[in-house]
A = this chain, B = another copy of it.
């Protein structure tokens, strides 16, 4: 029988990704939407999470597709009410609140899934397998997109806790931490803040790799024209290039995967598995690198940004 699910936050990502992914998965039945603004045709619509929890006690699972700043409060209320919870990335606006949610889920015996949708891109398992059998020499992340195109009018990304260019950048870091056979750590960062904004528009990161590989990431939100979401790796036995955010993989210049975007579909498959097995999946390593970049990064002020 399908689990009854409520989706909180009916914005761009909910309409583009969550709603189609839920609709295509027989394990889930979308029963309610929570949003101050928009509803979803044909299902219950509530203004607040409190109203949802009060009026629809039969709903077992809450998926949060709201910005990170208010997410803790919603998630904590749902977990305390005994609901399974699925968090959009990043899982919160602070690491400590994510650890607190993890503890709440344990305490209430429910599933918490801190999702990283990019990890579910078609090429990620193949890149991981490629790296598992080789010695890495060089890894370069290039994640450059046009913020006006992907976040039109979203002021929250420029507010503290909105992470700025790390909002897409953390997707790359979620792939990095998934495909590498060992953990790495940041050694330096430069963060470019528009003079009128609280979060960065560009960032350059360098990492220390335990086997001595050169490793860096270049995030930029000012890229017009073609968009770049690439990870290039060179190893002792060949090179690989992940592109289109993980849809495509080339090994030694030959295309080996040319997939499509199944990321959110895969997330809801994974969530169903976690609920069935009574487990949680909360890996904060991508967010730890972001917090490290903010604390270790050198700040540079750049041109003001307006949508």
Chain A residues close to B by CB (< 8 Å):
72, 93-97, 99-100, 103, 160-161, 163, 183-189, 193, 198, 208, 210, 285, 288-292, 294-299
Chief secondary structure at chain A's binding surface: mixed
The 7 closest A-B pairs by CB, nearest first: A96-B185, A294-B295, A291-B291, A94-B292, A97-B185, A294-B294, A291-B295
Q: How far is the CA of A161 from the CA of B188 in the complex (A)?
A: 9
* CB neighbours of A189 from chain B (8 A): 160
In the complex, what residue of chain B is closest to A76 when comparing beta carbons? B210
Question: Looking at A103, A185, A298, which has the most chain B CB atoms within 10 Å of its CB?
Answer: A185
Chain B residues, Cβ within 8 Å of A97: 185-186, 208
Number of chain copies forming the complex: 2
Instruction: Give the shortest distance, in Å, between A252 (CB) and chain B (any CB).
Output: 31
- Asked whether, in the complex, the Cβ of A99 is within 8 Å of the Cβ of B299, the reply is no
Smallest CB-CB separation from A73: which chain B residue?
Answer: B208
Q: Tell me which residues across on chain B come within 8 A of A72, comparing CB atoms.
A: 185, 208
Given A103-B183, A183-B103, A292-B291, answer yes or no on A160-B297 (Cβ-Cβ < 8 Å). yes
Let me know if A183 and B298 touch, CB within 8 A.
no
Q: Which of B285, B288, B295 contacts A163 (CB 8 A)?
A: B295
- Complex alpha-carbon distance, A103 and B103, angstroms: 22
Query: Are A96 and B294 in contact, CB atoms less than 8 angstroms apart?
Result: no
CB pair B160–A289 under 8 Å, yes or no, is no
Given contacts A291-B292, A292-B291, contact A96 B297 (CB under 8 A): no
A189 nearest in chain B by CB position = B160
Contact present for B294 and A94 (CB under 8 Å): no
The answer to whether B93 and A296 touch across the interface, beta carbons within 8 angstroms, is yes
Residue of A96, A97, A188, A285 ringed by the most chain B CB atoms within 10 A: A96
- Check A96–B183 contact: CB distance below 8 A: yes
Known A188-B160, A291-B291, A292-B94; contact A99-B297, beta-carbon cutoff 8 A:
no
